[in-house]
Amino acid sequence: MGLAQNGATREVAAGAPPGKGKEARGGPMLSGEDLLRLYLAMVLVRVLDQRMMTLQRQGRVGFYGACTGQEAACLGSAYALRENDWIFPSLREGGAMLLRGFPLLPYVCQVLGNSGDPTKGRQMPSHQSARSVRQVSWSSCIGTQLPQAVGAAWAARRQGDELVALAYLGDGATSSGDFHAAMNFAGVLRAPVVFLCQNNHWSISLPTSRQTASESIAIKAVAYGFPGAKVDGNDVEAVYAATAEAVARARAGGGPTLIEAETYRIGAHSSSDDPTRYRDPAEVEAWMAKDPIDRLRHRLEGLGLWEAGREAALQAELQAQVAAAIEQAEALPKVAPETLFDDVYAEEPWNLSEQRRELTRGLAARRRPSEPSKAV
């Protein structure tokens, strides 16, 4: 199942019995313990996304981008990384942070943008990031994270660091100039980076058929001199296997890989989108029958690691966890305006200090009760 070194593309499938114990984490196979952990993480992301979309419709959240239908592509790939590897995400990879140990409460606080948000409310919702789990902040500009990932990977290699950068993108990003720049840069320099394209068939309202004339996304790697692989993005084992192999190759000095994980966005592009205006409901129904969570659950049941009777209890437990995190997050105050000047410079210059004092005085004046008007 080796990747070609000359830029050839291939199909990847999984389904063989998983490996045993922790030794399987370093290779293309997953143990039953790994599969169970991934299943729980995928269900948590699905429950969280459903609640966040509800909050957005209620006016309690300004914006949200759900991962629904793409959980296997997101989490299966992230699971192939080491702790010191970096993720350069696009819109739907926040769940990778939770998989890698980021706490649920500050995750929800980022969506709300309140004082519990480690990034101090400075980013859009669904743009989570945290140095603690090595996930970079996404900028919303399509494709900009790709050359950033290549640069970080190349710099790490020059410094003797064995880390690998995993850069996520959607099919729409392959039409951006940054995609070309990143792919060319990575190929020439053989940077230790893996590009993971979640081809969900829609770049907002534009179908993939109008996005590119190529027979696949993966084949685009050929032009840049490195391997491409196309996988079933709804098969978490296939995604993990392809990513683990590409990550190992990058870490060993073999250079980059482009992986196309074919999946489907079940819901809207974001809370600002209405997919009923451009998608055939029959298409959505057909892909819902390929739900990656259902697929993994059936796999676990076949291995004797899950019983149907446990599903209701799991749903109740995760719903309670998410509800508790939302309740705690909404009880926290807003971000203090004075934090506007924090983290700008390592040593604050005089002009910024002057602006800080001016803002503080203005806020204090606004907070004081106004004096009663004098009678005429």
Which residues are annotated as catalytic? 265, 269, 278
Report the Cα 327 to chain-centroid distance in Å. Answer: 24
CA dist 79 and 8 (Å) reads 25
Angle at 111 between CA 108 and CA 117, to 5 degrees: 70
What are the CA-CA distances from residue 39 to residues 36, 277, 291, 363 (Å)? 5, 32, 12, 48
Q: Residue with structure tokens 């984490």?
A: 25
Q: Among residues 122, 154, 151, which one has the least CA distance to residue 138?
A: 122
At 168, list the tokens: 């996520």
Q: What is the DSSP string of 48-94?
A: HHHHHHHHHHTTSSS-----TT-HHHHHHHHTTS-TT-EEE--TT-H
Given a contact cutoff of 8 angstroms between Cβ atoms, the answer to whether 182 and 195 are in contact is yes
Residue 39 backbone class (left: φ over 0; alpha: ψ -120 to 50; beta: rest): alpha
Residue 185, amino acid: F
Task: Say which residue the tokens 């926290």 belong to.
Answer: 332
d(CA 137, CA 34): 27
